[in-house]
Amino acid sequence: MEALAWPRRLYLIGMGAVLGITAAVGLIFTLVVIVQRIVGSDDNSSLLLPASIFVITAAVAWYLIVLYQRDQEFSESGVSAGPFKVTIVTSHPGPISTLFPDNARLEVIYRADDSGAISDEMAESIVEEVGDEASVVWVDDDGYRITRTRID
């Protein structure tokens, strides 16, 4: 999902920082113009440009910060980012296909021998350990091993 993509995070942080600095500079210039008017300086600088720069950039920076926080909440909420592929190498998958969530794309590669059948308890344990991550599960007589994959 786009909210979890690193280019989006980099963009939000980078643009938020640039706009935040620009808003700070706009605020400084706005305060300088206000102080000059209070002191009675002969400089007739307009307040319109620095004030509008401050207001606009501060509003956009605030929006980007809020958007970044929402993306962080989404990524921490445990909501799956989309479909993920799980490849299981076993002689008999048992009930495991019914235990994975709907967004799991399950592929079973059948072994030629009879070792590595998946029991009910093993199926529940595998589903729990895999979570919502693309994985390869190898099942044999010694149990199972899970390896995460980078590409779905």
pLDDT in tens, 79-97: 555 788 899 998 888 888 8
Domain count, the chain: 2
Long-range contact set of residues 99-106: C-beta below 8 Å, sequence gap at least 24: 99/123, 99/124, 99/127, 100/127, 100/130, 101/132, 103/132, 104/132, 105/152
CA 70, 72, 77, 78 torsion: positive or negative?
Answer: positive
Rounded to the nearest integer, the mean pLDDT of the chain is 86
pLDDT score of 78: 56
pLDDT in tens, 52-73: 999 999 999 999 999 988 888 8
For residues 102 and 67, state if they share a domain: no
Domain boundary among 17, 44, 76: 76
- Residue with the bigger pLDDT between 56 and 114: it is 56
Name residue 106's amino acid. L
Its domain, for residue 105, covers: 84-148
